[in-house]
Amino acid sequence: MKKILIVLVGILSISIFSTSCGKQETGQLIGVLDRPSWKGINPFGMVYVKSGVFHIGGNDQDIFSSYVQRPKVESIVGFFMDETEISNNEYRQFVYYVKDSIAHTIMGDFIQDDYGNESIDWDLGLDYSDEILDEMFLPEDERLTAGKEMDPRIMKFGYKTVDFNKAAHNRNIPRSELIEEHEVSVYPDTLVWIRDFAYSYNEPIARSYFSHPAYDDYPVVGITWEQANAFTHWRTDFWNKYRPEERLPEGFRLPTEYEWEYAARGGKDFSPYPWGGPYIRNSKGCLLANFKPGRGNYAEDGALYTARVDHYFPNDYGLYSMAGNVAEWTVSAYYDNTNAFIHDLNPDIKYSANEGDPDVLKRKVVRGGSWKDIGYYLQCGVRNWEYQDTSKSYIGFRCIINNLGRTLQE
């Protein structure tokens, strides 16, 4: 019996030593050993906006605006932000991913290329004649051409979110009650170019803006707030799948309206525009953004509609078109007097409206002004809103991501 006990103790000692993988405890408080290393991230196409302090509110003695946008000092933690608005081609990567995923589901198998990518080569691996994928295409009586046309209505992306605010105030609530499931149609609404403007002929751009390669580097439009959020969740999953060593617990998201304003100012506090001000033209008389000059001379700034996402000069943070081109969704809910009650550290106010909620609860903050707006809306401090389930020909978005481990003012 004693021999058996000695053998068991020896086996246990060997087991403990083996599981430590050579890392011997010393009796000192040194933390958990063999933790993964973290060297930070450097996302492609994004610039870092360091932590800092700025003043929110109206600019240029806008007295009436100050009634609902009270000036206030705010502190913001640093983040990465897309240097340009999300372009048509970047958003198309999302659409194609959803399209491939649906095809994989229908086929019940994956097709991998030589690099292990789980994507269907629609030109080589499969062609549109494959009957197995017929449900992905429009029925014959809805087609405009002889060939098969993809049905954009089937392109839906599902994802889950956690209501952290509800969890924080209901500590004993089951986790299942905190998880919210979403399913969003991802294809842009290309008909916004016609619907947004009465008595205006915009069919040519409606037909080609998202599909033609000539517009690949133009900002995507016809995107609802819900679609923009779906894009950020897909982008996070896409990053984590291919970069597990740099896995992001939160991931990409839309900026809050104050993160957006802080980034737009480019370090020029109190200045009305991303380039400073007080004028919308430079010393040579050239307009500095894409908007609606004068009484409607759209072409004076170089673009009748939108322009390339990098067409105008960036601000001092390296961010393009933070004024004009297309207005941009933020994650924030819109209230007239938000500045009166928000916190002074990373301020924000959110509300995830359901389909049956009153319209007033579906308002989301839009910032930056657009190609069809007058110069007033180009100011960094000007707020506007649109309904979260509405798409427009003049609203796009860009993403941000918190830089883990960097909360000081670098």
Residues 6+ apart with CB under 8 A from 409: 50, 51, 52, 78
Each residue's pLDDT tens digit in the chain (410 positions)?
A: 444 444 444 444 444 444 445 567 788 898 888 888 888 888 999 999 999 999 987 666 666 676 667 788 999 999 999 999 999 999 999 999 999 888 877 766 545 555 455 555 555 444 444 567 778 888 888 877 777 788 888 999 999 998 888 888 888 889 888 899 999 999 999 999 999 999 999 999 999 999 999 999 999 999 999 999 999 999 999 999 999 888 888 899 999 999 999 999 999 988 999 999 889 999 899 999 999 998 889 999 999 999 999 999 999 999 999 999 999 999 999 998 888 889 999 999 998 888 889 999 999 999 999 999 999 999 999 999 999 999 999 999 999 999 876 655 55
387: exposed, middle or buried (Cβ count in 10 Å: 0-12, 13-18, 19+)? middle
pLDDT of residue 130: 58
CA–CA separation, 287 and 29 (whole Å): 62
72: number of Cβ within 10 Å: 15
pTM: 0.88
Q: What contacts 13, CB < 8 A, 6 or more positions away?
A: none
Give the domains, in start order, of the chain with CATH numbers: 48-86+226-402 (3.90.1580.10)
Distance separating alpha carbons of residues 293 and 54, to the nearest angstrom? 29
The Cβ-side half-sphere exposure at 407, using a 13 Å CA radius, reads 4
**Which residues touch 67 (CB under 8 Å, ≥6 apart)?**
none
Instruction: Identify the pLDDT of residue 21.
Output: 52
> Can you read off the two tokens belonging to residue 188?
């842009």
Residue 334 pLDDT: 95
Q: How many CA atoms lie within 13 A of 91 on its CB side?
A: 32
Tokens 């109190």 map to which residue?
270
CA distance 22 to 289: 61
Q: At 267, phi and psi to the nearest 5?
A: 85, 0
In angstroms, what is the C-alpha Rg of the chain?
26
Closest CA to 281 of 192, 378, 176, 144: 378
pLDDT, residue 385, reads 96
